[in-house]
A and B are shown apart, each in its own frame.
Chain A
């Protein structure tokens, strides 16, 4: 059946079952997102995709579109809230972009650019999160995890290995590796796994390729994340 809704004042058609985010993208409108990925069901945890429908905040990656909805997305108010969410993600972890192999290809960083975030504003936590370099091909740098669970979902649902999991709640939440030792080397994780290249930030990193692409040629050096997302469907 489907129908039409208004997205920032513009009519957007949708088919039954499509979420607001999916229908908006199909019509050429970008909505910021971090935990959503086109190949996976919505997760609804990062809240970057918040929009307002009838004055109420909803996660556009998870809410099915309905006929006649009026959706606000690209407004100073909502973008300000998205920026504050990013700032909290930055201070919760250790994000030292200049020494991060993901820099230039990182969705968190690119979204910060997109949303005009010039500082993290809040007090930094500087948590202690040791890296796991045990695996021969892949390094895990937990300092940058934003708990989107994309690796958890990819490893469980696509690779059928269940290598990753989140544990604890609230401020103590963290990513763990599903092995007695807690080390990646002691799992059947392989560099060809879907989970190996799904991380939107710089946690799951292939060894020996870091910094190979020069500054200026990385994914988000010239094009903004909204452009890349719409052109490449990511």
Chain B
């Protein structure tokens, strides 16, 4: 696909691993600038398109850390296909809220939530084969694949994502300076 002046559009894929979709909401929070972006970008795999697998792309945006086997597969698929891979948000960068279980034993956690919790009568740890296997620890994505850039924030603001993407697409080295650079 190309825009009116014949420039090929930048192909972007996005996904949420162990995230809350807050970073994707922030992407939408660019408001009318989304229309600007739509002139130069087309989306591959993303919750916005419902394409199920990532094809060759220029930019991959990853929200969330890696908490289960499926996250590992998806992340590797993105790394294989995306020229530039970006960790978006606190969870992709340091595991975030899900990683706060990392100093606990996973078995104890599951017992506490699904078996021992008050009000549970016939509890049992879910074991449907369809469910992805949990990892013993939640990992930041850079512990699993090489990551080119990081956009911190919980979530990063629409302004920060806009600044980053327009720099990257415009051929400038993306740099977020204070106060766009934020960890919360």
| A residues in contact (CB < 8 Å) with B | 90, 94-100, 103-104, 109, 112-114, 116, 118-121, 123-124, 126-129, 215, 221-222, 224
Contacts and interface: CB of A to CB of B under 8 A. Distances in A.
B37 to A, nearest CB: 22
Contacts of B99: 96, 124, 126
Contact of B178 (A96, A114, A119, A120): A114
A94 B99 CA distance: 10
A97 B154 CA distance: 9
B150 interface: yes
A116 to B, nearest CB: 7
Contacts of B90: 96-98
B150 A95 contact: no
A103 B102 contact: no
B69 interface: no
Q: A-B pairs with the 3 shortest C-beta distances?
A: A98-B154, A97-B183, A126-B102
A224 B102 CA distance: 32
Contact of B152 (A104, A119, A123, A124): A119
Contact of B181 (A96, A100, A116, A121): A116
Nearest to A90: B94
Contacts of B95: 124, 126
A121 B87 CA distance: 12
B21 interface: no
Nearest to B154: A98
A76 to B, nearest CB: 14
A104 B184 contact: yes
Contacts of A116: 175, 177, 181
Interface string B113-146: 0000000000000000000000001001011000
Nearest to A114: B178
Q: Which of A97, A119, A121, A127 has the most B CB atoms < 10 Å from its CB? A: A119
Given A97-B90, A113-B178, A124 B140 contact: yes
B184 A95 contact: no
B40 interface: no
Interface residues of B, number: 30
Interface string B154-183: 100000000000000000000111110111
Contact of A215 (B147, B149, B175, B184): B184
B97 interface: yes
Given A96-B97, A97-B184, A119-B150, 20 more contacts: A90-B94, A94-B103, A95-B94, A96-B99, A96-B100, A97-B154, A98-B154, A98-B183, A98-B184, A103-B183, A103-B184, A118-B93, A118-B152, A118-B176, A124-B94, A124-B143, A126-B95, A126-B99, A126-B103, A222-B179
A190 to B, nearest CB: 30
B96 interface: yes
Contacts of B142: 119, 121
Contacts of B97: 96, 98-99
Contact of A128 (B103, B152, B182, B183): B103
B149 A118 contact: yes
Contacts of A118: 93, 149-152, 176, 181
A119 B93 CA distance: 6
A116 B181 CA distance: 8
Given A97-B154, A98-B90, A119-B150, A113 B181 contact: yes
Contacts of B102: 124, 126
Contacts of B183: 97-98, 103, 109, 112
Contact of A120 (B94, B176, B177): B94
